[in-house]
Structure 1
């Protein structure tokens, strides 16, 4: 049970980091394309995808 809890914490933190990164990237994309909502949505999607890839690779 203890290791399962630790694994969940690691996964949650990776997803959190990737979402924050995605949010930053998305905001930058949104500002440059003058459509912040679409940029942020795209950024979060990219961030989650990258987080999942990192999780698979680690």
Structure 2
């Protein structure tokens, strides 16, 4: 559950940052940004899982 919350918070923060820095998205840009956000959130969650396993 903690990893899911961490991933969600990270993805939400990344999307807010992207929305603040870039102009509004159109067409195919929306799913591309969603894919990048989801991928990076998943990578972060996996890194946390691996890090917690080593502790």
Shorter-chain TM band: 0.5 to 0.7
Gaps of 5+ in 1: 1-15
Task: Tell me by how many angstroms 1:38 deviates.
Answer: 1.1
C-alpha change, 1:26 and 1:46, in structure 2 (3 Å) is same
Structure 1 residue runs of 4 or more that deviate by more than 4 Å after TM superposition: none
1:31 paired residue number: 16
CA distance in 1: counterparts of 2:18 and 2:9, whole angstroms: 14
Mind listing any 5+ residue stretches in structure 2 that lack a counterpart? Answer: 20-32
TM-score by length of 2: 0.52
Aligned residues: CA RMSD: 1.9
Q: Give the number of the structure with larger relative contact order, counting CA–CA contacts within 8 Å between residues 6 or more apart.
A: 2
**C-alpha distance in structure 2 between counterparts of 1:51 and 1:29, whole Å:** 20
Distance of 1:45 and 1:20 partners within structure 2: 14
